[in-house]
Amino acid sequence: MAAIQQSLSTSISSSTSTFLGQHKLRLRSQNVSLPGKTSGIVRCVATPSTETSYKTKVSRNENLAKLQAGYLFPEIARRRSAHMLKHPDAQIISLGIGDTTEPIPEFISSAMAQRAHDLSTLKGYSGYGAEQGEKQLRASIASTFYANVGIEEDEIFVSDGAKSDISRLQVLFGSNVTMAVQDPSYPAYVDSSVIMGQTGQFQKDVEKYGNIAYMRCTPENGFFPDLSSVPRTDIIFFCSPNNPTGAAASREQLTELVHFAKNNGSILVYDSAYAMYICDDSPKSIFEIPGAKEVAIEVSSFSKYAGFTGVRLGWTAIPKALLYSDGFPVAKDFNRIVCTSFNGASNIAQAGGLACLSPDGFKAMKDVVSFYKENTEIIMETFKSLGYKVYGGKNAPYVWVHFPGRSSWEVFSEILEKTHVVTTPGSGFGPGGEGFVRVSAFGHRDNVVEACRRFKELYK
């Protein structure tokens, strides 16, 4: 076991990020040796056991059997781990999974540390909190992100992240709904739909599940679907800025989308997890669009703004005006789901969230975002200089690179084998991602620069 651990270690060069000095964050040493993430060896897919002949009389959930292979990102981690075992001396650089790399700003981490310390005192201890989140944090989220659109604190549900809330929303909707999803898009939308029993079987000839409307988003349509060709569905999942393409929908496009949902009596689930990366006049919230409060739910997260991918803190906004066909408020049912399945976000994480939304904390988050956007520019310029068509990047921490005529997994494997850089194959986000590779800007600056040097060596 020690030998395996030794072979999984890799030397990663740290960055001296500009925002670190400004906010007196603890600097990492310039060169550090970090252990490989051995958890990446585990795949999120059930495999039959041959160790025992005993079987229970409980049938397997047939919906889980529909899922294809493992969830995308654990599968990438598995291939990364296999590559590390094959090349134990290689310096692996990960620009694949969208996991933040820079330290949490000290102003924010100090607030969490103080809250953790307070829990060791009689005066500061607290147990279970409100399932919907602490009142002060809900109010702060409402005033910071929704002050001009009329979303109030009691319409905010604090959670342990947008991904968790997506699954809670699927429980809310149940199995008897139809759904539409951007193609390509974040795989959690489709996989959770399959698990809930909303879909048919996987159709290998078209790489799609039955009973899902795949809204194709391409460079030709500006990564916004032709809604005239989209059938009516109960639920529409839409992410802007989009993961993986990095495209942010314009005000006109989102107005069209809200009208489409309203005309069809659909509920729009709008994922705004990357809204702070928007630098033009694209809306940061769906509730900037007139009429959206009658058809939309918004999920968001602190993960990519404050480095909270491990801390886990997000929120879902459900307006009181959003009603089911019988007039019952959607928020009341979601509150019931939350109270049944969730005891509320960590009080330590919520202290961090409050710090994030203070003037100093918000500035620190903006500096974090700016750092990753600088990485994005480096990656974009690299592939442009090599003659590739590159999309995204401007309003998102992802660069969407087109490799025409080639398989996404083939390009992923080529880059990993020849440069020791981990990316993400576009087809993992849906059939519309075939021929593309997503390159994440979440990385230490030195590693991003080195990865781009290797890209130039490979594709010059």
In three-state secondary structure terms, 305 is: helix
Say what the pLDDT of residue 33 is: 38
Structure tokens at 356: 């994030």
Say what the pLDDT of residue 6 is: 43
**DSSP classification of residue 401:** E
Give every residue of the chain whose pLDDT is below 50, as ranges.
1-43
Say what the pLDDT of residue 3 is: 47
**DSSP classification of residue 234:** S
Say what the pLDDT of residue 46 is: 57
Nearest CA-CA partner of 89 in 186, 193, 11, 194: 11
Cβ neighbors of 447 (< 8 A, separation 6 or more) are 12, 13, 15, 93, 95
Angle at 76 between CA 73 and CA 79, to 5 degrees: 155
Measured CA to CA in angstroms, residue 198 lies from 46, 62, 110, 194, 257 at distances of 20, 12, 44, 6, 22
* DSSP character string of 39-67: GGGS-SS-----S-----SPPP-TTGGGS
Say what the pLDDT of residue 71 is: 72
Can you tell me which residue has the tokens 């310029």?
381
Instruction: Give the start-to-end residue ranges of the domains of the chain.
Output: 63-102+362-459, 106-357
Say what the pLDDT of residue 242 is: 98
Angle at 279 between CA 313 and CA 260, to 5 degrees: 75
In the CATH hierarchy, which top-level class contains the domain 106-357? alpha beta
Burial status of residue 381 (CB atoms within 10 A of its CB: 0-12, 13-18, 19 or more): middle
Domains 63-102+362-459 and 106-357 share a fold: no
Angle at 97 between CA 245 and CA 36, to 5 degrees: 160
Alpha-carbon distance 282 to 131, whole Å? Answer: 33
In three-state secondary structure terms, 94 is: strand
Say what the pLDDT of residue 53 is: 87
Say what the pLDDT of residue 74 is: 82
Structure tokens at 18: 């500009």
Alpha-carbon distance 397 to 393, whole Å? Answer: 6
In three-state secondary structure terms, 442 is: coil
CATH topology of domain 63-102+362-459: Aspartate Aminotransferase, domain 1 (3.90.1150)
**DSSP classification of residue 127:** -
How much of the chain is in helix, strand and coil states, percent to nearest 5?
A: 45, 15, 45
Structure tokens at 235: 């639920």
